[in-house]
Amino acid sequence: MNRVIIEVCGSSNKFINKCIQNNINIKDINYIDDDNLNANIDISDFKRLKKACYFCKIKIIKYEGFNGIKLHLRNNIYVYLLFLWCFILMDILSSYIVKIDVIHENSKIRNLVMDELDSHGIRKYTLAFSFDELEKIKNEILDDNPNTLEWMSITRVGMSYVIRVEERIIKKDIVNDLPRNIIAGKDALITKVISSKGEVMVRSNDYVKKGDILISGEIKLYDEIKSLVAASGSVYGKVWYEADVIVPLFEERKLDTNRSRYNISFNNKVLLKNKYPLFRLDRIKEINILGLKIKIYKELEYVKEVHKYSSLEMDNLVSQKIEESFSKKFNGDGRIISQKVLKKEEKKSTIEYRVFVVTNELISKYENIELRDDNDSGKST
């Protein structure tokens, strides 16, 4: 119940009698002197009391309950707004990044990481990203630099980012000085021979079978072995494969409608109810004020569409899948020369392809030469 404390000036006894006659409940009566007093009444009785006690002066000196709080806020609204604005301003200012520190001894790695961060919007004098966005950016940078970066972390410390990174070191093959040959790892048509040690046994356009010697570690003179060396080099050749590829007939796509709006959430409670049935979040910014987590973001509406692939799109999708599969097999030492569909069979929601693929790839591998005793080498069969 909302009550008020009133001040009554003049005819205080008559005032008491009028309150009793009109069934007005008063309490906490405090006499200031013979004609003046303070009392506590219900705010709903104030107008009736003023009308009945026209002979004295009555005024409210203090509100209690909800009305008291409301009056206090109204009288001090600018103080509270200024107080709140100062906290918001401090948090916004502290949400800006003024320093980015990449920790690594190699200046090339530091410059690479700084360029990547800048391309993803992480730069000085901008608002800090959320934790999820930082994780997403970190993973994208690692995916874009698989041969350079092994590990990376982005940590926000106050108004700065501390980025720690480890360079990926690709270990070189251990040098083996034992006598060895270079042999064919698979059937192929030779396209290129690079030799730095040993006797080359094949030329371009020679057809070789798996296990044939390509570069020999046996150095001969007039069919007599003069020395044994560790053959070294690389041999490339055309190799033929049959690959099976399965691609879907349809694809579910998300199409932007170019409709958007900004929204805000407080401790994960959304201020504005969902306007769009389907939307994705963009430009997410987070602010923490006295334990209150405020997230400001943009909602971008999209619709789903089932797209059936055209023949050209199917061909491109098959080529892409084959390229991805063989790229892992090549490990940087080969490429696809041509491909041709041998057979395709349409199922309910997919098409199965059998594709003839021709590659030009590294086919050579090392094989140690078994050392024989001199007595054994003189025997014949």
- What ranges do the domains of the chain cover? 3-74, 96-167, 180-233, 243-250+308-362, 252-306
Q: In the predicted model, is pLDDT for residue 378 greater than 50? A: no
Q: What share of the chain is helix, strand, coil (3-state, %, to 5)?
A: 25, 50, 25
Whose CA is closest to 355, among 338, 372, 379? 338
Give pLDDT, residue 187.
Answer: 93
Q: In the predicted model, is pLDDT for residue 328 greater than 90? A: no
- Alpha-carbon gap, residue 336 to 317, rounded angstroms: 15
Does the domain at 96-167 match CATH 3.10.20.30? Answer given as: no
* pLDDT tier at 214, thresholds 50, 70, 90: very high
* pLDDT tier at 377, thresholds 50, 70, 90: very low
Give the phi and the psi of residue 143 in degrees, each rounded to 5.
-65, -35
* pLDDT tier at 373, thresholds 50, 70, 90: low
Give pLDDT, residue 41.
Answer: 79
Higher pLDDT, 33 or 175: 33
Q: In the predicted model, is pLDDT for residue 175 greater than 70? A: no
* pLDDT tier at 192, thresholds 50, 70, 90: very high
Give pLDDT, residue 155.
Answer: 87
- Neighbour-count burial of 170, counting CB atoms closer than 10 A to its CB (0-12 exposed, 13-18 middle, 19+ buried): exposed
Is there a contact between 311 and 340 (Cβ–Cβ < 8 Å)? no
Global pTM reads 0.46
- Alpha-carbon gap, residue 379 to 175, rounded angstroms: 33
Lowest mean pLDDT across 29-38, 45-54, 173-182 = 173-182
Higher pLDDT, 174 or 222: 222
The DSSP code for 373 is -
Tell me the average pLDDT across 87-102. Answer: 78
- Alpha-carbon gap, residue 106 to 5, rounded angstroms: 76
Whose CA is closest to 251, among 300, 302, 304, 303? 304
* pLDDT tier at 238, thresholds 50, 70, 90: very high
Residue type, 378: G
Tell me the average pLDDT across 305-311. Answer: 85
pLDDT digits (tens, 9 = 90+) for 215-226: 998 888 887 888
Residue type, 215: I
Is there a contact between 37 and 56 (Cβ–Cβ < 8 Å)? no
What CATH code would you report for 3-74?
3.30.70.260
Token look-up 């003179």 returns: 221
Is there a contact between 180 and 230 (Cβ–Cβ < 8 Å)? yes
Give pLDDT, residue 379.
Answer: 40
- Alpha-carbon gap, residue 182 to 84, rounded angstroms: 77
Give pLDDT, residue 372.
Answer: 62
Tell me the average pLDDT across 273-298. Answer: 77
Whose CA is closest to 249, among 325, 296, 310, 187? 310
Q: In the predicted model, is pLDDT for residue 113 greater than 50? A: yes
Tell me the average pLDDT across 299-326. Answer: 86
- Alpha-carbon gap, residue 217 to 70, rounded angstroms: 97
Give pLDDT, residue 304.
Answer: 87
Lowest mean pLDDT across 163-167, 173-177, 356-360, 370-374 = 173-177
Instruction: Tell me the percentage of the chain whose pLDDT exceeds 90.
Output: 17
Evaluate the CA torsion angle 138, 142, 148, 149 in order and state its sign: positive
* pLDDT tier at 381, thresholds 50, 70, 90: very low
